[in-house]
């Protein structure tokens, strides 16, 4: 029953993240990108800080390596910036599907930067994912143009983020880790706001109360998604949960239809399916390889 509960929580996580991205798309350009990101991470820092404070100050000491914490925060911040920027130019399902190429990019990074041996089967999944991306983007069609760089950038930074997160997972409490990630990101964004206040503050003053409420809603959903994911990981192994993460594509399509009256065309849907299959295949192969290595030890 615990494993089933973990899967249910993971599906709920994907629904929450898709809803959060939908709110970002609704906000559009009404709020400066820096202000959206700052609101998102300040809310997460306060929420997770309050959550951990219930157990006393000692909980904040389990943070792992400071350098890795800073690197993790920077990578997640870049991931959020690319995701939010992409949502301003691309349909929600398209942006979501391209951003979910992270497992394929992780394979490329492992082979090129870490000199890991990658099987032919995993390379075939990378090629399949690349084909899926080409089907979604359809170069030369003029429909998405340069804006596809944002979700691909989001996938790349998230792949790096996952590598750093795996290093920290054995060194600190996951809630504390997410708190420090949000805190460091908030400090970085506040510094950027202070440096560029001449340009940003006038734009922020023009933001309506309704738009700020949407920012709070988005931040609440994103933070809730992280908490749901942590609860899912406590009940079910990551290798089991990862394929269910692609349920976010279905929720993104649903919210795109519900809020914007748009659904992917046939070719986009095929490309999204190909990317999902390649990503799930990559993660299953990685999990099987990891299990084999553990058994050999």
Q: Compare 26 and 161 and report the one with higher pLDDT.
A: 26
Instruction: Print the domain residue range for 47.
Output: 3-296
What's the CA gap between 296 and 286, in Å, rounded?
A: 15
User: DSSP secondary-structure letter at 143?
Assistant: S
Under the banding of pLDDT at 50, 70 and 90, the label for residue 70 is: confident
DSSP 3-state assignment of 29?
coil
Q: Which of 145-149, 219-223, 227-231, 263-267 has the highest mean pLDDT?
A: 219-223
Q: Which of 123-127, 158-162, 208-212 has the highest mean pLDDT?
A: 208-212
CA-based torsion, 214, 97, 34, 106: positive or negative? positive
| Residue 297 banded pLDDT, cuts 50, 70, 90 | very low
Rounded to 5 degrees, what are φ and ψ at 3? -65, -45
The total of structural domains in the chain comes to 1
With 70 as the cut, is the pLDDT of residue 137 above it?
yes
Among 88-92, 184-188, 231-235, name the one with the lowest average pLDDT.
231-235
Mean pLDDT of 181-191: 92
pLDDT at position 221 over 90: yes
Q: Dihedral sign, CA of 146, 150, 151, 156?
A: positive
pLDDT at 296: 47
Contact 103/126 with Cβ under 8 angstroms? no
pLDDT digits (tens, 9 = 90+) for 103-120: 777 777 767 766 667 677
Q: Please check whether residue 272 is in contact with residue 132, taking contact to mean a CB–CB distance below 8 angstroms.
A: yes
Percent of the chain clearing pLDDT 90 (strictly above): 29
Token code pair at residue 39: 């609101």
Token couple for 70:
């800073």
Query: Is 70 exceeded by the pLDDT of residue 143?
Result: no
The mean of the pLDDT values for the chain is 82
Question: Mean pLDDT throughout 175-188?
Answer: 88
Name the pTM for this structure: 0.82
């Amino acid at each position: 029953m615990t494993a089933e509960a973990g899967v249910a929580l993971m599906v709920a996580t994907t629904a929450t993240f898709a809803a959060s991205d939908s709110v970002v798309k609704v906000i559009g350009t009404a709020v400066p990108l820096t202000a959206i990101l700052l609101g998102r991470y300040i809310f997460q820092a306060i929420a997770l800080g309050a959550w951990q404070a219930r157990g006393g100050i000692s909980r904040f000491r389990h943070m792992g390596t400071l350098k890795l914490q800073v690197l993790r925060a920077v990578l997640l911040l870049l991931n959020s910036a690319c995701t939010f920027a992409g949502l301003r130019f691309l349909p929600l399902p398209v942006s979501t599907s391209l951003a979910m190429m992270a497992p394929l990019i992780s394979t490329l990074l492992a082979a090129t930067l870490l000199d890991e041996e990658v099987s032919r089967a995993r390379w075939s999944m990378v090629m399949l994912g690349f084909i899926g991306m080409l089907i979604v983007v359809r170069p030369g069609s003029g429909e998405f143009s340069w804006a596809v760089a944002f979700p691909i950038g989001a996938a790349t930074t998230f792949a790096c983020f996952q590598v750093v997160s795996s290093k920290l997972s054995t060194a600190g409490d996951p809630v504390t880790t997410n708190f420090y990630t949000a805190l460091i990101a908030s400090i970085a964004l506040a510094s950027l706001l202070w440096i560029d206040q001449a340009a940003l503050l006038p734009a922020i003053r023009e933001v309506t109360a309704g738009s700020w409420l949407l920012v709070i809603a988005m931040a609440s959903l994103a933070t809730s998604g992280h908490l749901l994911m942590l609860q899912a990981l406590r009940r079910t192994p990551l290798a089991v949960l990862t394929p269910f993460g692609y349920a976010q594509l279905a929720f993104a399509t649903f919210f795109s239809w519900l809020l914007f009256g748009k659904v992917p065309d046939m070719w986009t849907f095929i490309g999204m399916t190909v990317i999902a299959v390649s990503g799930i295949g990559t993660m299953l192969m990685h999990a099987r390889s990891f299990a084999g290595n553990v058994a050999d030890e």
